[in-house]
Structure 1
Amino acid sequence: MVSMGTASDAQLAVEAAQAGAAVVRGMFGTVLSRTEKSGGDFATAADLAAEQAVLDVLRTARPEDAVTGEESGDTGAAGAERRWLVDPLCGTLNYAVRNMLVAVNVALRVGSTVTAAASADPFSGEVFWTDGTHARVRRDGADEELAPSSGSRLVDVNLDAPFPNAPDFRAVHLLAAPEFAQRFRPRVVSTTLAVAWVASGRRAAYVTDGDLRDSVHFAAGIALCEAAGCVVTDLRGLPVNTGAGGLIAAADRETHQALLEMVKAQAPAGR
């Protein structure tokens, strides 16, 4: 473990994600209380405990930084230059039914740029992380550079609401498009761990609708993909994180262009 007093932001992101992952792993399979949220969503006791573990690491090392937590909301100055974005258990629905496809996401936004991020898989023990320049995966204490690849042809598509770009874009229509089936093989994982898989070459691409500005769910994965050299835009090919434009993260430009054209084909002519 790195001393918190000397840890870089990227090292701290890894430490915090690992702390949350340890809680998620330790509570897996137990009877968990639930806290109801809006829209039929809920948090489990594991979400709350994992977020507390992440926040304990961050606040001990960077007490002046602001934090946005999935469960605890915003703390610190509203206009803080440095803000940590924390999703303690991405895939709560999976986890609640004892499915291990989940992630713990921690990202640091400095100004308008995410400069450090980590996405931990509690059950494989892997942590995908970036210092804003390099993207790596840590396994058993050793780091390996991430290398995107479209070779699998596997594309994850998020089918969860909301859909702010409907009717111009519907994720389910993308899956039904003949040209999609001819070129790609669909996957629906329902956790942003799949975004890290694009950066690591395990997926050719990931597509979702939604407003991704300061998203605790997506900030870490987007930063990983960008640092790894993936092509990352919103659904219209514009810079991501600028509005409710969704996300296309692809291993290479050819894959990204193919998906972008399929998305554009859904919109009525002239829009």
Structure 2
Amino acid sequence: MARSALLTVMVNAAFKAGKSLSRDFNEVENLQVSRKGPADFVSKADLRAEQIVYDELRKARPTYAFVMEEGGEVSGTDGQHTWIIDPLDGTTNFLHSIPLFAVAIALQRGDEIVASVIYNPVMDELYTAEKGGGAWLADRKRLRVAERRHLSDAVVATGIKTQGTSNDGLQLRQLNHVNPAVAGIRRSGSISVDMAWLASGRFDALWEAGLKPWDVAPGLLMVKEAGGLVTDYAGQPGSVWNGQIVAGNETLQGALLKTLKSVQ
């Protein structure tokens, strides 16, 4: 796969931030950490990585706007393009020395996500996607969602929110309904990794709610370009902004969505 100039800019920013995260990961016990909410942390590593991504993208496309997990919104003069950034998706994993986290970057043009990068620096796995150009691992392997057709054969991913957050009761009821219907449920701790692994066929389907735009945007395009279907809990096309996703190949996505709709 030949990268476009735009995707090259994104990959370079992710690599540079990933290098910084790798250094911090090896000295995680020395990091300064703050609590944003229940089991919601931010470290100096998040802030450093976000600043690196911001600086690299701002230098390359100075007129584009930004939506960032830590830095919030920064307006641009372009009017059509917005970078959506999670500099460290999987902070709790990171702070516990669990090597499942990612730098996640997406570009929104108008109402559409048109390019995305998800990079796990510890595993050195780079996932990229461009609208109409497919989803790729390391520029060499074209990604396709798994072809399984029965939930009973499927490994399904989700995020399990901390108790005390919104909809935690609903989530537990969903787990009780989905668990006996599938081959297994996995919780990686990084929604970007989950969606990249769904696009690559490692996971067969996933669902989660309570998500932010930077959680959804990079993986949304990745799954679509790998042939997957993404909707919200109502079955409407998946949006970066409504915080819900149900995803998989068309058959499994439909079966999982039907199961979730039966939970009150």
Q: Is the shorter-chain TM-score for this pair beyond 0.5, marking a shared fold?
A: yes
Structure-2 change in CA distance of 1:207 and 1:129 (3 Å):
same
The 5-angstrom pairing of residues 156-235 of structure 1 reads: 156-160=157-161, 170-177=170-177, 180-192=179-191, 193-210=193-210, 212=212, 215-235=213-233
Distance 2:23 2:240 in 1: 37
State percent identity of aligned pairs.
27
Distance 1:159 1:134 in 2: 32
Structure-2 change in CA distance of 1:156 and 1:89 (3 Å):
same
Aligned to 1:148: 145
Structure-2 change in CA distance of 1:164 and 1:235 (3 Å):
farther
1:23 lines up with 2:20 in the alignment: yes
2:235 aligned to 237, 245, 249, which one?
A: 237
What code does the residue aligned with 1:108 have?
A: L
Secondary structure of the structure 2 residue equivalent to 1:89: strand
Distance 1:165 1:82 in 2: 33
Distance 1:255 1:227 in 2: 17
Could you tell me which runs of 5 or more consecutive residues in structure 2 were left unpaired when the two chains were aligned. none
Structure-2 change in CA distance of 1:40 and 1:164 (3 Å):
closer
Alpha-carbon shift at residue 244 of structure 1 (Å): 3.4
Alpha-carbon shift at residue 245 of structure 1 (Å): 5.6
Deviating more after overlay: 54-63 vs 7-16? 7-16
Deviating more after overlay: 59-68 vs 126-135? 126-135
Secondary structure of the structure 1 residue equivalent to 2:242: coil
Structure-2 change in CA distance of 1:243 and 1:62 (3 Å):
closer
| Paired residue total | 255
Is contact 2:25-2:97 (8 Å) kept? yes
Query: 1:115-171: per-residue Cα shift (whole Å, max 9, x none)?
Result: 1100111111111111112333343xx42100110547211111126876677xx23
Distance 1:175 1:33 in 2: 34
Alpha-carbon shift at residue 249 of structure 1 (Å): 1.1
Query: 1:89-118: per-residue Cα shift (whole Å, max 9, x none)?
Result: 001011001111111100000100001100
Deviating more after overlay: 128-137 vs 65-74? 128-137
Is contact 1:158-1:171 (8 Å) kept? no
Secondary structure of the structure 2 residue equivalent to 1:258: helix
Structure whose residues are more often helix by fraction: 2
TM-score (norm 1): 0.86
Aligned to 2:113: 114
2:262 aligned to 262, 265, 268, which one?
A: 265
Is contact 1:69-1:87 (8 Å) kept? yes
Query: 1:18-39: per-residue Cα shift (whole Å, max 9, x none)?
Result: 2221111121131101133245
RMSD: 2.4
